[in-house]
Chain A
């Protein structure tokens, strides 16, 4: 042997190091010695030194200076050298270093060596880390060895071929002839690797796949023999003969049977046999069953077989072994769409898995549960899922909440139940609910007309104690703003109506406004709600006016802008206020996602409704006007320092649902006006709000930002106008 005692001595020595620093020192000393030995080109100790280097590499120390030495070892005649050399190459070299190509010739020689174990080393190395260039150069040698009768080499050559194909797919064709009688082998190693090779080829090429379909009967026979044969000590694992080979064959059958009726039929019996006869007490049997199930589900199998497969998964779910349950859930998730009814039968077991301690199992159980909700089981399922939402880890809450909303929307047995479910989610996981759920919920609530009183009461009660969960507070604020009148008049039928005064309602909304916990968006909701109540409440309008005017000097630009505009509503446009703040109509669910007549720009140009004259050069003008009706008198939006901007409005002749806004900007000064920038802020309206704007148009509403207000605006006008419009009309 190559002086093992010295080698062991090194390891032993290094292990005595008590600190990282001590170890590093030893290693550095050793490395220095090794380096000088390498420099001396010492053939005798090279092997031992590389071995030491590999050990140090495993500890995490750099060993790249040994790369060339590995190549020298590979080129050596001594088997001991080759063994370590090839190991070193696999550990220290890869295709990113140019030096690896120097191996090619050595490998080529060794592939033709007289000793099979040397050939084996070469095949193994090539098959593990061969680069594309190496594979190209040596593919021919591999192909030759694929045809040898030496099973030790043949099996390695097969896997080497797999690697070559993965690296250089164009070379796949050249291995085709050699595959001719691969499956005739008795040797399990060759059989296994051959099946792997065939699998690889079939995956990559539909032509290969078609070509190899004829192997199905032979594969079925081999599998049958494995199952039926008696005890074979060499390949036995807990009473099962060569489970590795069985699984690979099942996998290949899967690929061959997909989308092919004849092949699927030919394998039907063997699949049923494996499914029913495989011993399930140990993991190995279940591994085979698992693969069988995957195959059955993927080919064109009879329905009876499919049910059998799902039942196997159902039994897996009841297994004490966590791993088996995990695998069952993963598979059921894949099959739930295609075999929904069969999976439904295992619903209660799946729901039980929600209580599992393993996070991956819980997640899969949750996804599967959502997939299984239908009109019949929605009440029971939602109960379980709401409980899960309550007790699950934070990483699940957002997805679970979204899932519950979706399921509730689709299957709610009653409006009351729907509202209650939403409430439950908002109060249980209020801070995890996704932001995009809020507008959706608002739409839902709006459309549940008969539940308005009940909803606003429940939401009011929910935030009374705790207004920290933003999505909940946003929805609640919006509702209170809309239906506050129902709240104070105690109109709730579904439950005992509470007594609450207008002032109390305003108290809670103001608390939200003031609170540190409230996000800016939430504050916006609250302020708008307060404003809306000015037309719904009777006794507290002055209070509302006061609040609104206070926020006119808020440092939050959003709030400031809204407040200022609401102020303007109170003052100059009071006659419009009731109509503007009217109850939102029921919104149709958008069936298409296309834009309505309202221009939506998203920053890109789209067919614009807005028609503008080319603006003259002039001052930078920031102004905007939003108008949605006919018969609007023209407006002078801006008239200062010689720049006058007028808006005129007309129905389009060709399309009466379109309003054409024309802007005329004129310069009455002697001088030219340069850098005139016209920015039109156009509201981006969600489809469900577009329905509302139809209503607006019909009732001739418009709102214009006064010149006083404009002057106060910053560049945020563009974005904030959108908010304003939407918030106002909310």
Chain B
């Protein structure tokens, strides 16, 4: 702490400065005289903050930017969601091959990966394990693949509700619920069996 304070002593002249060393930030606001008007210390990550990690939302979109799936684990107005989607699609589509799979975005991190013609994007909290999130994305793709058999974008377009069902057997509230591929897919297949046939559907009373 001593060292940090020295390293970032207020500079004469009115202004403010925030110095971050990893997850620790010191901020000063000072007046013309050099007198410190206010200071703040914020600290996150492994030093005391909540470990609450969860996926905030998942987006699937094509290389042309068409949305194929959106799952939100936070409450936001529709307009806001649309804005976020536009923004994120634009950011990710403009990334080149040489960059990492992680993008700092607002106070979240976007973890994305392209599989064939689809981009899978997960928004996680800044302190979450990005590498594991890549595994989460990969697992979801594997589940889709297992269910549809060599899944492709068209499967997800024409059976989008199934894509959601599969996701909901894998993740609830932004947290992984099932780590066995077999179990997750079996649950979907069993549920599919429960669905009424056309005849049954017509004959069964709704209420």
Contacts and interface: CB of A to CB of B under 8 A. Distances in A.
Contacts of B35: 593-595, 600, 602
Interface stretch (A284-292, A489-497, A620-628, A671-679): A284-292
Interface string B196-207: 111001101111
A249 B23 CA distance: 23
A682 B176 CA distance: 64
A245 B34 CA distance: 52
B20 to A, nearest CB: 7
B22 A123 contact: no
Interface in A235-293: 235, 237, 242-245, 247, 251, 254-255, 283-284, 286-287, 290-291
A361 B51 CA distance: 24
B64 interface: no
B172 interface: yes
B157 interface: yes
A2 B205 CA distance: 15
Size bracket of the B interface: 35 or more
Contact of B173 (A1, A162, A322, A687): A162
A271 B45 CA distance: 20
Nearest to A598: B33
B130 A326 contact: yes
Given A87-B165, A159-B172, A322 B11 contact: no
A234 B207 contact: no
B12 A196 contact: no
Interface stretch (A174-182, A301-309, A333-341, A542-550): A333-341
Main secondary structure of the interface of B (DSSP, over half): mixed
Interface string B11-27: 11111010011111000
Interface in A161-188: 162-163, 166, 188
A595 B172 CA distance: 57
Size bracket of the A interface: 35 or more
Interface string A129-149: 100000000000000000000
A634 interface: no
Given A8-B158, A127-B172, A322 B100 contact: yes
A471 B207 CA distance: 77
Given A87-B165, A291-B129, A159 B75 contact: no
Given A247-B132, A322-B99, A590-B34, A337 B161 contact: no
Contacts of B130: 323, 326-327
Interface stretch (B65-73, B115-123, B143-151): B65-73
Given A193-B175, A436-B15, A334 B45 contact: yes
Nearest to A197: B175
A212 interface: no
B11 A440 contact: yes
B51 A283 contact: no
Contacts of A419: none
Interface string A176-215: 0000000000001100110010011001100000000000
B177 A336 contact: no
A117 B50 CA distance: 33
Given A2-B195, A43-B206, A283 B52 contact: no
B93 interface: no
Contacts of A76: 206-207
A558 interface: no
Contact of B33 (A123, A156, A255, A595): A595
Contacts of A438: 13
Interface in B76-100: 77, 82, 98-100
A71 to B, nearest CB: 12
Contacts of B17: 436
A3 B99 CA distance: 45
B190 interface: yes
A358 B177 contact: no
